Chain A
């Protein structure tokens, strides 16, 4: 059964409990984060001491909140009083709760009992309860950062559900860094009522979301999760990264098959069968999700690599060797089209090494003819930002802006920005993914190339290998869909 979580992700108004003037307390931080993120719904801080916090009136009791004004409650108060607060909130029309408070299952036998009562109460009151013992919930369409910690992220189309609050932060940080934004993010905490599958099922229907990104450690009911996530994967890509993957927990197995089974191998097979896109680590998971959120799905495994110079193309082809991707031989007509645009010293094969022979319009033109070709399923451009990097040294040096440096610096930076914009525009128009990679994405994020990609909400990978890995994961998902006629 899927839950309606719209009050959790797009509440009309939020009651925050445990709000005081102490800026180190979770209640204060949550109120602060909500205000700073620009949340425009009603905010109703509740605390023991009436007065003002951050310019907002603090209510002494939920009874003071106008009925129907809030449909979500964010709970930062100690476990012992939360049942009472939930009843009071329900009486005011609240239908969703995020319980950040700890003191539940993770806290020993008394906590286990408290969590059991929380589940029963959620059921009785008809409240969708997230947590307890969770970090919070973020929803950019509602400009809502309801979290007991940072950060907030730019708006985008990736929805995160995580069994670890820290990894919600990790994904949000990566979203800030890359510019590829988030639609929703939620930490499942103890997942007493709502679990990963509940969130992801809601994301599947969420028009603000095009990719689901999941961090998980434990699987309670693997079979049910498989069925539910498989149904979501048929509709939207689901990227999964699993902690504890190296645990090949010794199991007593009578059979040879059992002896060869490990938690990880079985989990991996489950992912493949369900169409879940399994990433090896958090960075890879985010980059796969970011690529899926911003690029069309490839129609196959044939890749064309375009480089300005040197060994990057080799690294890209090397990275393909443990994937199904191939650097496809250039079709004759594509070869001819490229040969026309480049001086004779170009590589004459794929990777297309332009050997520094490009003129003003060459890069966008080659990306265009490659992406538009029916026998090319994806294009990777390596070398974004080189011109601007040269320009940066000029700009920072003592000779700038004289000697014609100002003009050439402007030209270089305009060119790199143009390449990034062209890559985005061409992939949208042709339906062929056009990926970008350069270490300048992290080494010099202010470089005009990566900066323009970021401004366009597009990922610029930090290496050819990482771009290829994202493309391979995306390609495998596309293949899963094609094989099943989806």
Chain B
């Protein structure tokens, strides 16, 4: 059996390996969250607040995501409500607050444990049409920067990567770094079975993950010792 880490846990793991994620803080209480925001100047309003926990699979469906909170007052009310919405069977929960990120273009990236080839890293065209378009490319972990650059080249939807509605072309070097960092999560982090960075929004051409989910195998010795 595998376990899906909470978004907060997943973000901490992937960020540690260099995956660019939108600025975020976490806390067990509303006050902890505010103390963390005080200490972290990278958090800018408006923000999004979410209630995270390993047992919480569908945050949106349960109304556990609050978007476009423009000031402290709105954030405090949202945090209190989210904590109150926790159920007994949710197990341990925490609040996650991150800056809202704007961008017109979305990619998706992830890790997947392939039955024939083992752990793979994926890059695809994201957004709500990802599954319809299926413009995705895979490589076997580990990868080199050359492999990552070729993944970007192999996407069919190259036009999405050029200049787009007054936004600059994708920063290929930054995207290479993000893919290599994600592959590194799969290579170095014990027990990883899958990961989703969905979406990976292009902000001024640079990729930023605004959600992250990591699935691990807790029977992996190293993970059990965590």
Contacts and interface: CB of A to CB of B under 8 A. Distances in A.
B51 interface: no
B195 interface: yes
Given A268-B138, A269-B140, A257 B111 contact: yes
Given A260-B130, A260-B134, A251 B115 contact: yes
A253 B151 CA distance: 22
Interface in B191-211: 194-196, 198
Contact of B120 (A261, A272, A480): A261
Contact of A266 (B120, B143, B149, B150): B120
B90 interface: no
A260 B136 contact: yes
A219 B140 CA distance: 15
Interface in B135-150: 136-140, 143, 146-147, 149-150
A265 interface: yes
Contacts of A258: 110, 112-113, 194
B120 to A, nearest CB: 6
Nearest to A259: B131
B159 to A, nearest CB: 13
Nearest to A324: B153
B97 to A, nearest CB: 24
B130 A256 contact: yes
A306 B130 CA distance: 41
A273 B194 contact: no
Contacts of A265: 134, 136-138
A226 interface: yes
Given A219-B116, A255-B215, A260-B124, A272 B139 contact: yes
B213 A272 contact: no
A222 interface: yes
Given A255-B196, A261-B112, A269-B140, A483 B150 contact: yes
A251 B109 CA distance: 19
A219 B116 CA distance: 7
Q: Chain B contact residues (Cβ within 8 angstroms of A): what range?
A: 35 or more
A222 B110 contact: no
A317 B147 CA distance: 28
A222 B120 CA distance: 12
A254 interface: yes
A263 interface: yes
Given A226-B140, A269-B139, A273-B139, A257 B117 contact: no
Contacts of B140: 223, 226, 269-270, 273
Contacts of B138: 261, 265-266, 268-270
B41 interface: no
Interface residues of A, number: 26
A272 B117 CA distance: 14
A263 B194 contact: no
B6 interface: no
B31 to A, nearest CB: 34
Contacts of B134: 260, 265
A254 B194 contact: yes
B130 A223 contact: no
A360 interface: no
A266 B2 CA distance: 22
A261 B108 CA distance: 12
Interface string A82-109: 0000000000000000000000000000
Given A255-B215, A259-B131, A272-B154, A266 B114 contact: yes
Nearest to A227: B140
Contacts of B124: 260
Interface in A239-292: 251, 253-261, 263, 265-270, 272-273
B117 A223 contact: yes
A22 interface: no
A58 B142 CA distance: 57
Nearest to A230: B140
A484 interface: yes
A255 B112 contact: yes
A199 B116 CA distance: 20
Given A260-B124, A266-B116, A273-B139, A255 B146 contact: no
B91 interface: no
Contacts of B122: 257, 260-261
Given A256-B198, A261-B122, A272-B137, 16 more contacts: A219-B117, A223-B118, A254-B215, A255-B194, A255-B196, A256-B130, A257-B122, A257-B196, A258-B113, A259-B131, A260-B130, A261-B120, A265-B136, A266-B138, A269-B154, A270-B117
23 contacts: A222-B118, A226-B117, A226-B140, A253-B112, A255-B110, A255-B194, A255-B213, A256-B108, A256-B110, A256-B198, A257-B109, A257-B112, A257-B196, A258-B194, A260-B124, A260-B130, A266-B112, A266-B116, A267-B117, A269-B140, A270-B140, A273-B143, A480-B150
Nearest first, the 9 A-B pairs at minimum CB distance are A257-B110, A269-B138, A222-B116, A255-B194, A222-B117, A257-B112, A258-B112, A266-B138, A256-B196
